[in-house]
Amino acid sequence: MLSDTYGRVATDLRVSLTDRCNLRCTYCMPEEGLRWLPRPELLTDDEIVRLVTVAVRELGVTEVRFTGGEPLLRPGLVSIVERCAALTPRPRLSLTSNGIGLERVAPALRAAGLDRVNVSLDTLDPQTFRTLTRRDRHADVLRGLAAARVAGLDPVKVNAVLMPGVNDTEAPDLLEWAIRHGYELRFIEQMPLDPQHGWQRDTMITAEDILRSLATRFTLTPESAEARGAAPAERWTVDGGPHRVGVIASVTRPFCRTCDRTRLTADGQVRTCLFAREESDLRGALRGGADDAELAERWRTAMHGKKAGSGLDDPSFLQPQRPMSAIGG
């Protein structure tokens, strides 16, 4: 079990498969990209599967989410999913992607055992998409989303970040579109995880901003705290249901006290929090010959020291030294 001193137990594992990405979203990385991790520093497919196995069999993890960077860029992705789906007990498996390439691989991922996907899409306008991502791939994302639904990767969730002066008026249109296509929409507050440190608290689009915008077109009814559980998204039923919309307000409405996550970076570091400035190395122990029991104990020790909160509400907050693409979202 991965418990900490505040009584929280981590059962949800986020695994970054690569720090590379084929988009250049303005809130994530600079136009020229980043210096990618050297290949020898990345966990191999076998190492990823072994650490997931330790997490599931030794530490009580029940859900595994594959992230990046862009996880579809990982050549061994389908095999990794298939091997993790074969574990006993069998974890629930999901993937967070930008959707580019999903049209091609969605059937294979479903056959391998992937349960569902989250796809990032911040706008319905191709030109705005080009402005935000610096790439002309809007149509590819839409085709990827449609392919995920056809493949049965349900529920297909769409993640959207609203940026001031760019797409901040699109919340109602995005929700109307998501309902029409049968996707579950999640708005995510922009977080201070960009390497260029362009995030500004006083100009970001907040959860309250989003909800006010949605209320101009929809009637939203909040779900209970019991229904939310440890999920990061606060959810509302739309116009009496059955459709729902969520808002992940990591900055203005932090949910640290119910957090049930542990994170593994693409180079084998345990992170207790998305905003942590410290990491614990598992790759070194793994490659040094540690057995599963030692790896599990190192992981327990790392998570036991998890802080009470992210520190975002502290004026002295400092961004993590590594950007979102390296950490895994």
Closest CA to 65 of 231, 261, 257: 261
Interior CA angle at 220 toward 218 and 224, to 5°?
A: 165
Is 20 annotated as belonging to a binding site?
no
Is 256 annotated as belonging to a binding site?
yes
Rg (CA), the chain: 19
Is 216 annotated as belonging to a binding site?
no
Is 180 annotated as belonging to a binding site?
no
Is 221 annotated as belonging to a binding site?
no
Q: Please spell the DSSP secondary structure of 128-188, one letter per residue.
A: HHHHHHSS--HHHHHHHHHHHHHHT-PSPEEEE---TTTTTT-HHHHHHHHHHHTPEEEEE
Is 263 annotated as belonging to a binding site?
yes
Cβ burial of 152 (10 Å; 0-12, 13-18, 19+) is middle
Are 172 and 132 in contact by the 8 Å Cβ rule? The answer is no
Is 21 annotated as belonging to a binding site?
yes
Is 191 annotated as belonging to a binding site?
yes
Is 307 annotated as belonging to a binding site?
no
CA 73, CA 99: separation in Å to the nearest integer? 11
Give CA separation, 177 vs 97, 117, 121, 150, 208, in Å: 19, 18, 12, 17, 21
Tokens 């793994």 belong to residue = 286
Q: b/e map of 25-42 (b: 16 or more CB within 10 Å)?
A: bbbbbeeeebebbeeeeb
Is 324 annotated as belonging to a binding site?
no
Tokens 């072994």 belong to residue = 50
Tokens 């695994």 belong to residue = 15
Is 120 annotated as belonging to a binding site?
yes
Is 25 annotated as belonging to a binding site?
yes
Is 273 annotated as belonging to a binding site?
yes
Binding-site residue numbers for S-adenosyl-L-methionine are 27, 69, 120, 191
Binding residue ranges for GTP: 14, 65, 96, 157, 261-263
Annotated binding site: 14, 21, 25, 27-28, 65, 69, 96, 120, 157, 191, 256, 259, 261-263, 273
Point out the annotated binding site for [4Fe-4S] cluster. 21, 25, 28, 256, 259, 273
